[in-house]
Each structure stands twice: as C-alpha cells, then as structure tokens.
C-alpha cells in the first residue's frame, strides 16, 4: 500500500471513529426517503423508475457534501496537524487525493446504502436496472464535484464554518448555472456561445440526462475534469497558505 492508500485509510477510518460518518449516512438516507416518497411522488407517478430519487440529489448534496468537505483541510490547519502531515515523506498530491478519495468513498457508502429504494422499485415493477446503475454512477461523480469544491474552500480557511458557507455558495452557483431561469436572465446581446459555455459548466445540465439514465461519457468526463481542476486548486491554495 502506497502513501496514498495509507492516508486514504486513515481518513476514512477517521470518519467512522467519530459520530460524523454515522450522522451523515443516517441523515442522508432519511432526507432521501422524504424527497423520494413524499415530495417526489414516487408512488403517484406510477412508473417503475428512480427519477424522483435522483433528481433531488443535486439539492441534497448542496448541503450534505459541504458538511463533510468543510473539515478536510480547515481542521488540519486549526490543530496544526497539517505541519505534521506535510513534513512526513509524502507528496502533497498524495495528501490532497487521499483525503478527497476518503470523503468521496464516504458519500459512495451513503449512496450504496440507499439500496432499499432500488429493491422497492424492483419489487413494485420492472425498472430498467441499467438506467438505475448509470444514474447511481452519475450521482456519485456529481458528489465528487461538490467535494472537490469543498476541498479547495476548506484549504482557504482555518474556520470550518466559513469553509461550509463558501462551499455551499459556490456549489449553488454551479448547480443553477444550467437552469433555464438563469439562462433566460441573460440579455439578448450576449453571444449565444457564451451562454452555452456558461450553461455547459452547470451541474444540472450534466446531471439531468444522467438521472434519466443517459450516461454519456462526456458528462462523466466533465465531472472528472471538474474534480481534477478543483483538487489542483486545493493543492495550490495549501502550498500558498501554509505559512499563516
């Protein structure tokens, strides 16, 4: 196991050493249930799919994911352990990636634990399970996008509450970027190509089709590049702000 693996394991076990992981998973499952069955009209639609379940995920992640991401680096800075970690013989990339992957794994575990909803829909009807698997993968990648923003914001400050608020704000921006309300607000003189570029950065633009079961490689690529870019930014911020 390389250093990346060792850091990943420490971080992931760290989540389960405190109540954080359990609280996160329980709240995630409860809110998912409420959104899907109550507000999403899962039964009323009378269709054997998980569209109501997945279409709420961007909004659920908007508050849940920053809560995990906020401590990633802010706490290291606050307690001074960042000095310990970064004077160990490891690469900064191992630390950034290891922490990110551990948090991402936690959201993955929470997502997997929603399997009773999948069982329900299979019991009640005959859904296209390929579509559901694709949507799960897409949802997980979107969570990764939120987390990567959170990693960078957490690196900016010692205060995890500030990191949380910053992350929610920026994530919100990326969620609504592709929404028609925002796109219609552009004045007529703005060239269409700019509007399209803006819309292409939005999470909803990419996630809507994924939720419907169209797992386009370009959407996954978008989230992968998005994650890589924010993690790179995290590393740069950490390097720059180490001194204070």
Partner 1 sequence: MIEISNLTKKFDQFTAIDDLSFNVKEGEVLGFLGPNGAGKSTTMKVITGFLSASTGTAIIDGFDISKNPIQAKQLIGYLPEGAPCYGDMTTLGFLNFVAQIRGYRGKEISSRVQHVVEQVQLQSVCQQTIDTLSKGFKRRVGLAQAIMHDPKVLILDEPTDGLDPNQKYHVRELIKNLSQDKIVIISTHILEEVTAVCTRAIIIAEGRIVADGTPAELEAQSKYHHAVSVKLTDSYDLAADLAGIPEIGDVEQDSEEELRYTILASQSKPIFTQVSEIAQSRHWPVTEFHVNRGELEDVFRMVTQQAQGEA
Binding site for partner 1 (CB under 8 A): 1, 3, 6-7, 10, 13-14, 17-18, 79-81, 83-84, 86-91, 242-243
Nearer to partner 1, 44 or 243 (CB): 243
Least distance (Å) between residue 2 CB and partner 1: 10
Nearer to partner 1, 61 or 100 (CB): 100
Burial 96-111 (b: 16+ CB within 10 A, else e): bbbbbbbbbebbbbbb
Nearer to partner 1, 30 or 88 (CB): 88
Give the span between the Cα atoms of 149 and 232, in whole angstroms: 11
Nearer to partner 1, 92 or 182 (CB): 92
Least distance (Å) between residue 21 CB and partner 1: 11
Least distance (Å) between residue 23 CB and partner 1: 14
Least distance (Å) between residue 92 CB and partner 1: 9
Give the span between the Cα atoms of 77 and 21, in whole angstroms: 21
Nearer to partner 1, 10 or 212 (CB): 10
Give the span between the Cα atoms of 197 and 199, in whole angstroms: 5
Least distance (Å) between residue 12 CB and partner 1: 12
Nearer to partner 1, 8 or 136 (CB): 8
Least distance (Å) between residue 159 CB and partner 1: 17
Asked whether the beta carbons of 59 and 175 are under 8 A apart, the reply is: yes
């Amino acid at each position: 196991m390389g250093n990346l693996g060792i850091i990943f394991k420490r971080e992931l076990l760290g989540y389960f050493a405190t109540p954080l992981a359990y609280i996160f998973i329980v709240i995630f499952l409860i809110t998912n249930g409420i959104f899907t069955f109550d507000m999403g009209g899962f039964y009323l639609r009378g269709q054997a799919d998980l569209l109501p379940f997945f279409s709420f995920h961007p909004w659920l992640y908007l508050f849940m994911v920053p809560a995990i991401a906020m401590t990633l680096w802010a706490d290291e800075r606050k307690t001074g352990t960042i000095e310990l970690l970064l004077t160990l013989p490891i690469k900064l990339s191992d630390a950034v990636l290891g922490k990110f992957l551990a948090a991402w794994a936690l959201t993955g575990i929470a997502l997997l634990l929603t399997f009773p909803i999948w069982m329900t829909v299979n019991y009640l009807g005959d859904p296209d399970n390929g579509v559901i698997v694709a949507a799960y993968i897409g949802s997980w990648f979107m969570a990764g996008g939120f987390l990567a923003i959170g990693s960078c914001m957490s690196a900016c400050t010692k205060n995890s509450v500030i990191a949380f608020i910053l992350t929610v704000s920026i994530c919100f921006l990326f969620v609504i970027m592709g929404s028609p309300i925002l796109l219609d607000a552009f004045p007529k003189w703005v060239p269409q190509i700019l509007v399209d570029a803006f819309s292409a950065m939005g999470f909803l633009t990419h996630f809507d089709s994924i939720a419907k079961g169209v797992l386009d490689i370009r959407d996954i690529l978008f989230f992968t590049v998005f994650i890589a870019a924010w993690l790179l930014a995290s590393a740069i911020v950490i390097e720059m702000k180490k001194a204070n």
